[in-house]
Each structure stands twice: as C-alpha cells, then as structure tokens.
Amino acid sequence: MDFNYLLNQLVNGLSLGSVYALIAIGYSIVYGILRLINFAHGDILMVGVFAGFGVLAVLHAPFVLAILIAMAIAALFGVVLERVAYRPLRYATEEATMITSLAVSIFIENLGIMTVTAQPRSFKVPAILNVIHNWGSVSFSNMNLLIIAITVILLVVLVFFVTRTDLGIAMRACADNLNAARLMGININVVVSVTFAIGSALAAIAGLMLAGQYGRIDPLMGFIPGLKAFVAAVLGGIGSIGGAALGGFVLGMAEILLVGLLPPAFSPYRDAFVFIILILVLLVRPSGLLGTGERRRS
Amino acid sequence: MLRIENLDVYYGNIHALHNVSLQVKQGEMVAILGANGAGKTTTLAAISGLLKPKSGHIFFEGHEITGVPTHQIVSLGISHVPEGRQIFTSLTVQENIRLGAYQRRDAKLIQDDANWIYSLFPILKDRQNQTAGTLSGGEQQMLAISRAVMSKPRLLLLDEPSMGLAPMIVDLIFDVIRQLRERDITVLLVEQNAYQALTEADRAYVLETGRIKLSGSSSELLNNEEIQKAYLGG
C-alpha cells in the first residue's frame, strides 16, 4: 500500500461522504423540528431517482433537467408524505412516529416493486461524467468532482437560507421552541412542509449521484444509503445541519478507508463497519460530534 | 377589546378553567392575580390559541377568535410573552427580534421599531450578535418583551414578567410597560406579585382553582380584606 493509493481512497471517501452528507441533512432537519426519525427518507430518495430516470429514459431530456425534476418530484412527495402519514401523529410519542415511518418505508418499497418491479435497471449518465482524470497517479472521474462540487454548493446555499432568510430563521426557531415559534406568528405547518421539501430534494440529488456512480437502480436502493445517512446524522449530532454534513463526510471517509486498508476478505462487511460505528457512537458519545447533549424542548 | 365568555379549558382530564368570563377595554391594563395553578397561564394560552377551549367564546375587537390558529391570532394584533420567557436560546438576540416581526413586510418601519426597542433596552443592542441563551434572566425577559412588541400588537399578554428577577430589573421592566401603554398598547398582565400588579393595573381579576373569585378596580382590590390576607401579606 502506498501514498497514492491512500490519496485515491481519500477522493472516493470524500465523494461517498458528500452523498451521505446530503441525505443526512434531511434526517437531521426533520428530526430537529418534529423529533421524528423518518426511516422512509431513503425511499423518498428512491422515488426521486426513478423520477429522474423516467425523465432521462422517456423524454431523453438533458441530465441537468433530470436532476431538477427529480428534486422537485421528491420534494412534492416528501411534503405529501408528511401531510398524509405524519401530521395526524404530530402530538404522538417519538416511538409511535418512528414506527410509523418504518411502516411508510415498507409501504413505499413494496409500492415500488409492484409498479416498476424489483428488477434492477441500468442507469446511464452522460459520457462526459465518466471521463477519468489522472493527476500523477491519483485518478478521479468527473462524476467524483460533480458530486463534491454539488454538495459544497448546496451546503453553502443551505447555510445562507437558515441564517439569512426569514423562513430559514423560522425553521431554526421551530427546532428551538415550537410553541414560542407559534407565538411569533410562524405557521408551523408551512415550516414543516418546507423542511420536508428541502430534505427530500437533497435526498433526490444524492440518490442520482449514487445511481450514476453504481450504474443501476431498483426500488430498494434507498434502504441502505438511508440507514447509513441516519448513522451519519447520529454521528454528527442529530438535529444539527453542520453535524449532519460533518457526520456524512466522516462516515464516508471511514467506510472507504476501512474497506481500502483492511485485507480484501473484509470488503463484504463494509455495511457492518458503518453500523459498528453507530454502536460505538451511541456508547461513547450519544449526542454526536457536534451535539450539545439531551435538551428537553417545551 | 377582548371579551371572554364562559370559558372552559381542560388539560386532558384536568378541568383547568371553569366558566371564566372577563373583559379588557381598549387602552386598559388589566391584571389576573392568583396562586400557582389557579389558571392564569391557561387563560393566556387559550387567548393566544395555544390551547383549545372545550367551550365558551373569546372575542377580539368584535371577531370571535376561539379555536383560531395561533399564527392568525398574532396577525390580528395579539402578542403573548409566555411564562418562563421562552426565547429562542440557540438563536442570536437579533434573530429573536427579527422573528418578532415575522409577519410584517414593512422593512423600513421594522428597522425603526428595532431601533426603538434597542433604545428602551440598550443592553440588548450591545448583545445583539450574542446567542440568546447566554443572556441573564433579566436580559432574557427584556428580549421576550421586545420580541413580542416587534409584531406591533394592539393587545399584549404578559405572563409573570417579574418572575425571578431582581427588584431593580422589575422596576425597569414595568417602566417599559408604562411606555408601551403610552403607545396605545393594551395590556393583560398575569402576576403572582399582587401588590406590584395592583399598583400598575387599572383593574384586576382574581382566579382561584380555575374560577374567577373576585374582580374590581385596583384600588378596590388593594383595600379588600380578603385580598390583603391572601395575596398582600396583610
């Protein structure tokens, strides 16, 4: 093993971490406001990817348009999902809403299998994204660059949104103290819908990046990335946007490095590494890297 | 301006308010007195829509507001400074104040009002970029009032603004409340400190275990023997 090999793995880790970060943000902002762990988040990602796939395969539209439509449809899907499945449980316990989200996840996955079948389909991205660059002996594709660039841009936009706009500040206020936010004249339902829309759109674009990377999609594709992003959100400190992003990058990097540095016989266990990390975080620092510990909300 | 008729409110199975009726006229300052658990905070929460009454009616400027969502009640001109301040501790002072004006779209006038607030409480201006959770109790109360005033309310609901504060800070807070009244803000005040409330307010209602026990002008109540015994330590 040499230094260049390590650098290559770092590029891969950064790119995988970007995807986890984008998905984890959705988990985290929804949890921040509703104290809801939305296990159907990965399935929203899948719905977005299939929407994008449809645009590419049927309409032969440009990739950029497919991304935008996938984000829009996932956002709409997330908003409707909240309205139908979660809003009736707004004042239920965290356990009840979490179990509901598992049920919603199973429902969406099976709906996917019934409508588009479980047969994997090949997902092609424009040829330019598969071009490989070689810097010395470090190689990376345009796809890697695109994933990292999109993530950085979206993070900057999101930070601008939550610190500079009324709606974004209202979102943070809702996460801080829901009743006080009502007293400011904030319509909680609007904020919750916007939160679901943002989280779902980010999941959709992350899903398209994953699909582009692996070249295939199916109705269960959201399950594992969704769970891993949940681990990333917990690792960073669930409820915090910065924590979710950091957790995503750390987790992606850890996963790639563990696979890359351990003997090849361990590769099939890469998913297990991620969940070992979750167990370790919960044992050692349950509030996560950037979490401030359990804070009861009124 | 505000009229409550035969209000009954429950927390689950607990009957918190029994047949409560009260009125606040334009320009008045009215106090609600009572011990812990008498239903003072519940009354305010029902007015601002945080709690849905089981029966009874609440009218504001002639319109029924019973059961209307809180954000619409705010836009009608009612602002509520809740018990325990409830400021957004993870947001900055400036962000808290900005959210007070969440429904307003008159950017220029919002800035004027913010400047006026900062002239009332200069310490908040010094701390505007600090996280609100780092403020002292008195500063947090100032911020809670400032934030509520930023929505340009015609009726201000104040829940125990003096709770846990040093006498000097309490004087400052009530001084500001007097200035708010000069700006045509009507005030409904909930207080455990009966003496302070009765010296400031025009009229008062006394709540006991969810029922209105007594009501009258502040001077009447200050001289009432029962009140003196129960609330004024006389």
pLDDT at A293 over 60: no
Nearest-neighbour CA in chain A from B74: distance (Å): 5
Q: How far apart are CA B140 and CA B91, in angstroms?
A: 12
Interface A-B, measured as beta-carbon pairs within 8 A, has a size of 69
The pLDDT value recorded for residue A166 is: 95
Average pLDDT over residues A59-73: 94
Task: List the single best residue of B68, B90, B134, B146 to mutate versus A (max A Cβ within 10 A).
Answer: B90
The pLDDT value recorded for residue B234 is: 57
Task: List the single best residue of A33, A177, A183, A188 to mutate versus B (max B Cβ within 10 A).
Answer: A183
pLDDT at A29 over 90: yes
Angle, helices A223-236 vs A188-214, to 10°: value is 120
pLDDT at A2 over 80: no
* Average pLDDT value for chain B: 94
A186 → chain B, closest CA residue: B71
- Write phi, then psi, for B10 (nearest 5 degrees): -120, 145
Percent of chain B at pLDDT exceeding 70: 99
Q: Read off the pLDDT band of A298 (50, 70, 90).
A: very low
| For chain A, domain boundaries | 14-222
Average pLDDT over residues A81-90: 96
Find residues 129-188 of chain B whose CB sits inside 8 Å of chain A: 147-148, 151
Candidates B75, B86, B95; nearest CB to A177: B86
pLDDT in tens, B90-136: 999 999 999 999 999 999 999 999 999 999 999 999 999 999 999 99
pLDDT at B84 over 50: yes
Nearest-neighbour CA in chain B from A37: distance (Å): 22
Three-class secondary structure of residue A1 per DSSP: coil
Candidates A173, A176, A183; nearest CB to B82: A183
Q: How far apart are CA B125 and CA A270, in angstroms?
A: 53
Task: List the single best residue of B41, B50, B71 to mutate versus A (max A Cβ within 10 A).
Answer: B71
pLDDT at B230 over 90: no
CB contact under 8 A, A183 and B79: yes
- Write phi, then psi, for A172 (nearest 5 degrees): -65, -35
Average pLDDT over residues A146-167: 96
According to DSSP, the residues that pair with B29 across neighbouring strands are B187
pLDDT at A296 over 60: no
Count the alpha carbons within 13 Å of A287 in the hemisphere toward its beta carbon.
6
DSSP element (H, E) containing A63: helix A63-81
Superfamily of domain B2-230: P-loop containing nucleotide triphosphate hydrolases (3.40.50.300)
DSSP element (H, E) containing A141: strand A138-141
pLDDT at A189 over 70: yes
Nearest-neighbour CA in chain A from B137: distance (Å): 17
| For chain B, domain boundaries | 2-230
Q: Read off the pLDDT band of A297 (50, 70, 90).
A: low
- Residue in the block written with tokens 């026990």: B213
Pure H helices in chain B? 40-47, 70-76, 93-100, 107-120, 122-126, 137-149, 167-182, 194-200, 218-223, 225-230
**B90–A contact, CB cutoff 8 A:** yes
pLDDT in tens, A101-140: 999 999 999 999 999 999 999 998 888 888 888 887 788 8
Q: Read off the pLDDT band of B12 (50, 70, 90).
A: confident
pLDDT at A221 over 80: yes
**B102–A contact, CB cutoff 8 A:** yes
pLDDT in tens, A225-246: 999 999 999 999 988 899 999 9
CB contact under 8 A, B50 and A169: no
Count the alpha carbons within 13 Å of A191 in the hemisphere toward its beta carbon.
28
pLDDT at A174 over 80: yes
| B79 class by beta-carbon count within 10 Å (0-12 exposed, 13-18 middle, 19+ buried) | buried
Q: How far apart are CA A175 and CA B69, in angstroms?
A: 19
8 Å CB contact between A201 and A13: no
CB contact under 8 A, B86 and A298: yes
Candidates B50, B84, B99; nearest CB to A184: B99
Q: What is the pTM of this model?
A: 0.92
Average pLDDT over residues A259-278: 87
